[in-house]
Amino acid sequence: MVVQRKWRMLSGFAVIASLGAAASIAIAGWDGTDSYLQLLLHKDGDVHAAQMSSVRGLMVLGGAPAAVIGAVLVVLNVVLWWMQRRLTWRYAFALGVTGCVALSYHTMHYDSLFMLAPLLLLRDDSYVSSLPFQVLFLLWMTPMPDFGYTKTLLVAAPQFVVFACAFRQLRQENNARL
C-alpha cells in the first residue's frame, strides 16, 4: 500500500488493525498479551513450527535460522504481490489466498481448509482436474492420523498446485503478448 501510495487504504488498515489489537488486549488482558508476545519472540515459540504446513514450517524443518526465514518470507510476499497484479481475477484470488496460507507465520493443518476456495475456483485448470491431483485432494480432505512430517507435506501439497497453476497462467499471458 505504501509502494502504491494508497494512503486512504493504509489509514483504514491502520485504524482496523488498531481496533483489533485493542480488542485483543481487552479480551486477553495485559498478562495474556505479554505472554503471547513472549511466545513469539523466544525460541520456545517454535515448538510446533516444523509441523506447520507453510513455507516457515518447511524452512524450520530444514534448519534455517530465523533471520533467513524472515528474509525469505518478505521476498516471497513481494514476488506474490508482483505476480498477482498480472493475473486474471480467478488466479489472482487463488494466489492471494494460497499466499496467505503458505506465508503466514503460524499455519497449522486445519488452516489448510482455506485452500478449498482456490481449488474449487480453479477446478477447470488442467493441473487441478488431473487424476493425480484428484487422488491427492481426496487424501487431503480425509481425516488422517499424524504421520509426522509426511502429513505436513501432504497438507501443503494443494499450495504447490495453485502456485503451479498461477505460474503457468503467467507464462501463457507472457507468450500471448509476444
> Is residue 6 pLDDT above 60, yes or no?
yes
Shared domain for 51 and 36, answered yes or no, is no
Shared domain for 96 and 78, answered yes or no, is yes
The pLDDT assigned to 141 comes to: 59
Above pLDDT 90, what percent of the chain?
4
Summarised one tens digit per residue, pLDDT across range 94-128 is: 888 888 888 887 777 777 778 778 877 777 777 66
Summarised one tens digit per residue, pLDDT across range 32-66 is: 888 877 776 665 555 677 677 778 877 887 888 87
Shared domain for 34 and 72, answered yes or no, is no
Shared domain for 2 and 87, answered yes or no, is no
Torsion angle, alpha carbons of 112, 59, 100, 51, to 10: 30
Residue 178 has a CB neighbour count (10 Å cut-off) of 4
Total length of the chain: 178
Mean pLDDT of the chain: 76
Shared domain for 19 and 59, answered yes or no, is no
Shared domain for 20 and 79, answered yes or no, is no
Shared domain for 52 and 134, answered yes or no, is yes
The pLDDT assigned to 62 comes to: 80
Name the DSSP letter for residue 122: T
- Distance in angstroms (rounded) separating the CA atoms of residues 73 and 55: 8
The pLDDT assigned to 65 comes to: 85
Shared domain for 28 and 58, answered yes or no, is no
Q: How confident is the model at residue 178 (pLDDT cuts 50, 70, 90)?
A: low
Grid cell at residue 130? 488431473
Above pLDDT 70, what percent of the chain?
74
The pLDDT assigned to 15 comes to: 92
> Is residue 19 pLDDT above 90, yes or no?
yes
Question: What is the count of structural domains for the chain?
Answer: 2
Per the CB < 8 A criterion, the answer to whether 32 and 41 are in contact is: no
The pLDDT assigned to 138 comes to: 64
- Most confident listed range (17-26, 39-48, 169-178): 17-26
149 is in which domain, residue-wise?
Answer: 46-177
Shared domain for 54 and 13, answered yes or no, is no
Shared domain for 86 and 165, answered yes or no, is yes
Of 79-88, 118-127, 128-137, 161-170, give the lowest mean pLDDT range. Answer: 128-137
- Distance in angstroms (rounded) separating the CA atoms of residues 96 and 98: 5
The average pLDDT across 142-158 equals 60
Name the DSSP letter for residue 23: H
